[in-house]
Amino acid sequence: MPDQALSGGRVLDLTHHVAGPYCTKILADYGADVVKVERPGVGDPARSMGPFPGDNPDIESSGLFLYLNTSKKSITLNLKSDAGVEILKELLKGVDIVVENFSPRVMPGLGLDYETLKKINPGLVMVSISNFGQTGPYRDYRATDLNIWGFSGILYECGEPDREPLKMGSNVSEYVAGLYGALTALSALYYRDEGGIGQHIDVSIGETLHTMQPSMTLVFSMAGFVRQRAGIHFPWGILPCDDGYIGFFLPTQTHWESLCVLLEMPELIDKPEYETPMMREERRDEITAIIVSWLKGKRMEDIFHAAQELRLPLTMVPNTEQLFDMPQHKARGYFVDIDHPVGGKLTYPGAPFRLGETAWQAGRAPLLGEHNGEIYCGRLGYSRERFAKLSEDGII
């Protein structure tokens, strides 16, 4: 195994669904040793969520699970048993980071609060990711991505003004919270390794999503108004062309002038009604109509390149299928094929960033409990008899 940036780092992963697993996926793909602890029998609930190949549900072939758990090892452990909790404490020895995203009462309820864990492993960095954080009146509230969007303020201003607020189609809040988990875990580890101590990190998914639009509360405080839900209108746009959609954001005068050149209508530059950005926004419906009629019959990629020749920030808006054909992705080899004994050979999104000297490497996701033997007998030194007994008792 070649040296990777996080080689030597040990992570105990108690996470499930999206936010926690995405956090530990990042750590694992850059080289950390991540041992994922799953419930015997069913494992991470994401294993039971689709998509499945051929729509045949199988806990070993969920696309969501396979993607979010690359490069990890899986062991099973029943944390609802006293013996399971004791084994978890043994697993904690020698670990640098533990990540969990249970609801806030679960870990303390199991007797696994940070104070207890710290006694077992004083240098431990513990990351807890939860919907609303470990404290506060909403700490026990249930939430999905959509509820979090509403709470964060972002939902209110997304969508058309005369319709209901609209969430984006991917679980953005959970990915964002996962990244904050990785950022704070690595920062706390750096602090510890530079002579500090371990610590507990409380990540609130709701607060993390709010930081994706950190200036709107400030706009309200400085200018006294709340931004209106406004859809996507000039100087923004996602507009149809012959074979798909193109999108743009053209905030400056230079952009406006280049757009007029692209549209082969340089006379618009001197049109007094379109002189300033504010005036153009006031007449955005007119301008949009001009662009829409120009786009008719033109191909996405041709428009994209022609616009970029003029240094216009205009791009194609690919659908999921078109993503795979994008020359930039092909040239950089972004998508990677990973083989899995049950899921088969599939194409996955690749590295989120590339390091000059150390590799990103996504190994396939583990089967449920695949590494029980390696971890319990190898790392913890359990005898074959004890291992068999634990299996029999349903602990592992």
Partner 1 sequence: MSALPLQGVRIVDTCIYWAGPMATMLLADLGAEVIKIESIQRLDHLRLLGGWPTPDGYEWSAAFNGANRNKYGITLNLNHPRGREIFKSLVKIGDIVTENFSPRVMENWGLTYDALKKINPRLIMLSMPGFGGTGPWRNYVTFGPNVEMVSGMPTISGYPDGGPMMTGYIADPAAGLMGAVAVMVALQHRHRTGEGQLIDMSQMEAITTFMGGPIMEYVMNGRMQPRKGNRHSSSAPHGVYRCKGDDQWVTITVSSEQEWARFCDAVGNPPWTKEPRFRDNASRLQNHDDLDRLITEWTSQREKHEAMQALQGVGVAAGPVLTYAEILSDPHIEERGFFETITRPVTGTHPYPGFPAKLSETPVTIRRPAPTLGQDSEYVLTKLLGMTEEEIKQLADEEIIGTEPQGWAYSMEADEAISKLKDLHGKDA
**Binding to partner 1 by residue 221, rule CB under 8 A?**
yes
Instruction: Build a one-symbol-per-residue string for 244-263: x at contacts with partner 1 by CB under 8 A, - elsewhere.
Output: -x-xxx-xx-----------
In angstroms, the CA 178 to CA 184 distance is 10
Residue from 109, 240, 266, 378 touching partner 1 (CB under 8 A): that is 240
Residue 323 Cβ vs partner 1, minimum distance, rounded to whole Å? 5
Can you say how many angstroms the Cα of residue 387 is from the centroid of all Cα atoms in its chain? Answer: 36
Residue from 1, 2, 164, 264 touching partner 1 (CB under 8 A): that is 164
Residue 108 Cβ vs partner 1, minimum distance, rounded to whole Å? 14
The pair of three-digit structure tokens given for residue 178, joined into one six-digit string: 């996962």
Residue from 16, 210, 364, 371 touching partner 1 (CB under 8 A): that is 210
Q: Which of residues 339-378 bind partner 1 (CB under 8 A)?
A: 346-358
Residue 325 Cβ vs partner 1, minimum distance, rounded to whole Å? 12
Residue from 12, 67, 74, 112 touching partner 1 (CB under 8 A): that is 67
Q: Which of residues 138-157 bind partner 1 (CB under 8 A)?
A: 138, 141-144, 146-157
Q: Which of residues 73-112 bind partner 1 (CB under 8 A)?
A: none
Residue 333 Cβ vs partner 1, minimum distance, rounded to whole Å? 9
Which residue number, 151 or 382, has a Cβ lying nearer to partner 1? 151
Q: Which of residues 286-345 bind partner 1 (CB under 8 A)?
A: 308, 311-321, 323, 326-329, 331-332, 334
Residues 25 and 111: beta-carbon distance below 8 Å = no
Residues 15 and 21: beta-carbon distance below 8 Å = yes
The pair of three-digit structure tokens given for residue 380, joined into one six-digit string: 């913890």
Alpha carbon of 389 to those of 85, 368, 369, 376, 382: distances in Å? 16, 19, 16, 12, 11
Residue from 166, 289, 292, 388 touching partner 1 (CB under 8 A): that is 166
Query: What dihedral do alpha carbons 92, 98, 101, 103 form, nearest 10°?
Result: 50
In angstroms, the CA 3 to CA 359 distance is 8
Neighbouring C-beta atoms of residue 57, cutoff 10 Å: 12
**Binding to partner 1 by residue 270, rule CB under 8 A?**
no
**Which residue has 């001197």 as its token pair?**
270
**Binding to partner 1 by residue 385, rule CB under 8 A?**
no
Residue 21 Cβ vs partner 1, minimum distance, rounded to whole Å? 10
Residue from 167, 364, 371, 379 touching partner 1 (CB under 8 A): that is 167
Which stretch of DSSP H or E encloses residue 292? helix 284-295
**Binding to partner 1 by residue 135, rule CB under 8 A?**
yes
Q: Which of residues 170-199 bind partner 1 (CB under 8 A)?
A: 170-172, 175-176, 179-184, 186-191, 193-194, 196-199
In angstroms, the CA 111 to CA 119 distance is 12
The alpha carbon dihedral of 290, 292, 296, 302 has a sign of positive
Which residue number, 85 or 183, has a Cβ lying nearer to partner 1? 183
Q: Which of residues 46-65 bind partner 1 (CB under 8 A)?
A: 49-55, 63-64
Using CB under 8 A as the binding criterion, the count of chain residues that bind partner 1 stands at: 153
Indicate the pairing of strand 73-76 with strand 33-38: parallel
> Among 14, 41, 42, which residue's Cα sits nearest to residue 98?
14
Residue 359, SS3 per DSSP: coil
Residue from 5, 110, 261, 359 touching partner 1 (CB under 8 A): that is 5
> Among 181, 159, 157, 156, which residue's Cα sits nearest to residue 169?
159
